[in-house]
Amino acid sequence: MSDAVLCFDAVTFGYRRDHPPILREVNFALHAGRVLAVVGPNGAGKTTLLAIALGWLRPWRGEVWLDGRPIRTYSRDARGRWLAIVPQSEHTPFDYTVLEYVLMGRAPHLPPLGIPGPEDYRIAMRALEQAGIAALTDHAVPTLSGGERQLMLLARALAQQPKVLLLDEPTAHLDLHNKARLIEIVRALRAQGLAVMMTNHEPEVVLAVANDVLLMAAGQPALFGPAGQVFTEAALRRIYQLPIRLVEIDGRRHAIWT
């Protein structure tokens, strides 16, 4: 795992020392040009895992490595140049335009109190085009639909020009068209060499984009490996406690349950 961009080495974490840990001995490696899907039911610790990956939370035990160095040795701005997060949702207290909001992704690349320049605007516009919402550039953020907001958050993360992109349930607020768009975006980013880690509840999305899978369930060891080996009927039945089947329809695998 020494050549991994992001690596969890026996990471254990909890919010209270007098309670069992939420994450226990989690191990995985994320490489450039690959997509890692983090899959598991609510309460398994998926969002907590992302917060630890960002350096926002410190593990009780174990180490998080970023480009071969402990992430705790990076400054906040340095982490921001490596990692970007697309949260499930985010409160916007002011009536920014979409372009103004996406430009916030340039903050880790600017000096203290610096303002965006022409190159920053060019990068932000390219991110909006990648997310498929360039037509919304001058729209006020409060006027956006839930799906448009999610794509705006993605554009802001892309404007950050990270080497590792973290997505927290990125398809949760998207209609079918925008979900397909997001899948194509993730595939394109993977082809460009970006490392992507996403939490997701939708097996079809995981099957469409993931190279590797980390299966999580509360109180059980996480299981990491290539998607074809880890994302199986038996494993999904174990973590979701449902009679799940993986079937192939028109050349694509789908998860169903009865």
User: pLDDT (tens digit, 9 = 90+) per residue, 44-81?
Assistant: 899 999 999 999 999 999 999 999 999 999 999 999 99
Task: Write the pLDDT tens digit of every residue in 131-176.
Answer: 999 999 999 999 999 889 999 999 999 999 999 999 999 988 788 8
Closest to 83 measured CA to CA, from 195, 8, 223: 195
Q: Are 23 and 13 in contact (CB under 8 A)?
A: yes
Q: Which residue has the tokens 């006027």?
A: 143
The pLDDT, as a whole number, for residue 219 is 67
The pLDDT, as a whole number, for residue 160 is 97
Average pLDDT over residues 216-227: 85
